[in-house]
Amino acid sequence: MEQQVVFRKGVRVQLRPLERADVPTLRRWLNDPEVTQFLMRVLPLMEKEEEEWLEALHKSTRDIVLGIVGEVSPHGVMCRELIGTIGLHSIDWRNRVATTGTVLGEKRYWGMGYGTEAKMLLLDLGFNTLDLYAVQSRVIAHNDRSVAYSKKCGYREVGRLPRWVRGSDGERYDEVLLAVTQEEWRPLWRAYCERRVETCSA
Q: What is the mean pLDDT of residues 62-88?
A: 84
Contact predicate 107/85, CB 8 Å: no
Classify residue 127: in a domain, yes or no.
Answer: yes
Compute the distance between CA of residue 117 and CA of residue 162 in angstroms, rounded to an integer.
Answer: 30
Distance separating alpha carbons of residues 26 and 19, to the nearest angstrom: 10
Residue 21 burial (CB count, 10 A): 8
Strand order in the sheet with 172-181: 8-9, 13-17, 64-72, 79-92, 97-104, 134-140, 172-181, 156-166
Domain count for the chain: 1
Q: What is the DSSP letter of 127?
A: I
CATH number at residue 92: 3.40.630.30
Q: Is residue 116 part of a domain?
A: yes
Q: Does the predicted TM-score (pTM) go above 0.85?
A: yes
Q: Which of 120, 121, 115, 173 is closest to 145 using CA atoms? A: 115
Q: In 3D, which of 100, 70, 99, 65 has the Cα closest to residue 85?
A: 65
- At 125-155, the pLDDT tens digits run 999 999 999 999 999 998 899 999 999 999 9
Question: What's residue 73's pLDDT?
Answer: 63
Residue 120 lies in a domain: yes
Q: Which one-letter amino acid corresponds to residue 5?
A: V
Does 2 fall in a domain? no
Q: DSSP characters for 143-166?
A: -HHHHHHHHHTT-EEEEEEEEEEE
Residue type at 54 in one-letter notation: L
Q: Which is nearest to 46 in space by CA: 62, 66, 64, 30?
A: 30
In angstroms, the CA 107 to CA 116 distance is: 15
Which of 143, 137, 138, 140 has the alpha carbon at shortest distance from 123? 137
Q: Is residue 3 part of a domain?
A: no
Q: What is the pLDDT of residue 43?
A: 86
Q: What is the pLDDT of residue 142?
A: 87
Confirm if 51 and 57 have CB atoms less than 8 A apart. Answer: no
Q: Is residue 1 part of a domain?
A: no
Is residue 131 included in any domain, yes or no? yes
Domain of 126 in residue numbering reads as 8-201
Q: How far apart are CA 107 and CA 44, in angstroms?
A: 19
**Confidence band for 80, pLDDT divided at 50, 70 and 90:** confident
